[in-house]
Amino acid sequence: MRKDQNLGEYLRTQGVSRRGFLKFCSATASLMALPPSAVAQVAEALASARRPSVIWLSFQECTGCTESLTRSHAPTVESLIFDAISLDYHHTLQVASGEGAEEARHAAMEENDGEYLLVVDGSIPLGNPGYSTIAGISNLDMLKDTAKGAAAVIAVGTCAAFGGIPQAFPNPTGAVSVSDIITDKPIINVSGCPPIPVVITGVLAHFLTFGTIPELDHLGRPTAFFGQTIHDRCYRRPFYERGQFAHTFDDEGARKGWCLYELGCKGPTSYNACATVKWNEGTSFPIGSGHGCLGCSEPGFWDHGSFYKPISAGLWGSKETLLGAAAAGAALGIGSAMAARARKNKAIKESEADSS
């Protein structure tokens, strides 16, 4: 796609009919979790959409987010959207590296100053700049430098959005999230470990279509995808309401598809779209295959206790400490009883002395 073309023109030159374009639009609206009634609006906006430049920075991450995105087989709607953006710098995907890559980044930044979209995956180590560098540049410096001219920042994955696994206790690298560092730009947090690919592209599609930031929740996540919990949309919910729980992964309840709350499902406290959008082209999601949600789209999900501990169970339970407390209580009781006795004996003596 040429930079001076809009998306509508580009698709026509590719031989895509209006009907094909409308099909693309309904798939895109569905991708953005918009109601089907919004298709006309999407079509209008997309036809005249300009191709935004995207710079993708990868910091302390496992490449899972990029994998999640690129593993969706081409050419899907997602890949059409990718054709429609200009991915000018993606450290992991591009052929060039080192100086050459850095030049590409700087060129894209200059050419699209104030307009490009910055996508970040991975957390940023503050403990020591040397923990993670690209072409000798620390993550912190690169993020600050690149964010300056960005129109908006999309933090892809729980690491970039909230610190993620690198930040898990005891956080050896002093990892922080993008929003801990960048405070003067709109930031969209697309959390998940990894995020659902359709959600990543859905957010990109929204920016491409409307040129605006979607509505966000208090953690900066698009409410279209993160507005409800897994539990809100879970098909096992009726079992939860009735109190029918699987007690182990292979008991009668598990076979009957009962609720996984007792097995540590974090669905009730996890905001994500897995229960409806699902994974692997809509095939299934963890609960669909009998495993509870880990809560991967939530801040600190790694440190909320075991994945298999039910949410209603305490995170603390030390019998030794409670026995110690009991012993302390007993000592206090003995002490106060002795004191009371001493007072009483004294009073008796005094009264006996008085009466004699």
Partner 1 sequence: MTLLDFARGPALQWSLIILVTGIIWRIVGALLLSSRKDLSVARRKSGLNDGLGAIATRSLPAHTFEKRIRFQHVTGYAWHLALFVTVLFFGPHILFFESLLGFSWPALPNGIVLFSAAVALAILIALLIRRANHPVQKLISNADDYISVILCILPLLTGILAFAHIGGRYETLLAIHLLSIEALFIWFPFGKLMHSAMTFPARFQAGTSFGRKGIKA
Partner 2 sequence: MSALDSIAVQAEYETGNVVPLLHEIRHALERLLNGEDGTVIDMRSLPLAPGEEKRIEDALGKGEVHADLDALGPTTILETSYPGVWLITHRNTEGEVIGRFIEVTRFPSILESQPEDIRTGLTALGNRLAEDSA
Instruction: Give CA–CA dist 163/307, Å, rounded.
Output: 18
Smaller CB separation from ligand SF4, 159 or 274: 274
Instruction: Give CA–CA dist 249/290, Å, rounded.
Output: 7
Instruction: Give CA–CA dist 189/123, Å, rounded.
Output: 12
Beta bridge partners of 50: 6
Q: Does 243 bind partner 2 (CB under 8 A)?
A: no
Selection from partner 2, partner 1, ligand SF4, none that 296 binds (CB < 5 to 8 A by kind) is ligand SF4
What amino acid is encoded at 145 in this protein? D
Q: Does 316 bind partner 1 (CB under 8 A)?
A: yes
Mark the segment that binds partner 2 (CB under 8 A) among 23-31, 88-96, 130-138, 162-170.
Answer: 23-31
Name the DSSP class of 289. G
Q: Does 225 bind partner 2 (CB under 8 A)?
A: no
Q: Does 76 bind partner 2 (CB under 8 A)?
A: yes
Q: Does 236 bind partner 2 (CB under 8 A)?
A: yes
Sign of the four-CA dihedral 23, 29, 34, 39 = negative
* Beta strands at 53-58 and 150-156: parallel, antiparallel or unpaired: unpaired
In the chain, DSSP finds a helix count (H) and a strand count (E) of 15, 9
Smaller CB separation from partner 1, 95 or 315: 315
| Least spacing, CB of residue 9 vs partner 2, in Å | 12
Smaller CB separation from partner 2, 147 or 199: 199
Which residues have CB under 8 Å from 353's CB, separation 6+?
A: none
| Least spacing, CB of residue 65 vs partner 1, in Å | 23
Instruction: Give CA–CA dist 299/145, Å, rounded.
Output: 26
Q: Does 326 bind partner 1 (CB under 8 A)?
A: yes
Please report, as residue ranges, which positions from 211 to 250 form the binding site for ligand SF4 (by CB under 6 A): 230-231, 234, 236-237, 240
**Contact letters for partner 1, residues 186-225 (x by CB under 8 A):** ----------------------------------------
> Using the rule CB under 8 A, which residue among 37, 289, 312, 356 binds partner 1?
312
Selection from partner 1, partner 2, ligand SF4, none that 243 binds (CB < 5 to 8 A by kind) is partner 1
Beta bridge partners of 82: none
Mark the segment that binds partner 1 (CB under 8 A) among 92-100, 153-161, 201-209, 321-329.
Answer: 321-329
Q: Does 164 bind ligand SF4 (CB under 6 A)?
A: no
Smaller CB separation from partner 1, 192 or 267: 267
**Contact letters for partner 2, residues 144-173 (x by CB under 8 A):** ------------------------------
| Least spacing, CB of residue 178 vs ligand SF4, in Å | 19
With the CA atoms of 199, 203, 209 and 215 taken in that order, what torsion angle do they form, in degrees rounded to the nearest 10? 120
Please report, as residue ranges, which positions from 16 to 45 form the binding site for partner 1 (by CB under 8 A): none
C-alpha distance from residue 96 to each of 104, 175, 356 (Å): 9, 27, 108
Helices (H), the chain: 7-13, 18-31, 39-47, 64-70, 77-84, 98-111, 139-147, 157-162, 178-181, 197-210, 223-226, 237-242, 252-255, 274-277, 319-355
Q: Does 238 bind partner 2 (CB under 8 A)?
A: yes
How many residues comprise the chain?
A: 356
Reduced to 3 states, what is the DSSP secondary structure of residue 152? strand
Smaller CB separation from ligand SF4, 192 or 220: 192
Positions touching ligand SF4 (CB under 6 A) are 192, 230-231, 234, 236-237, 240, 259-261, 265, 267-268, 270, 272, 274, 285-287, 292-297
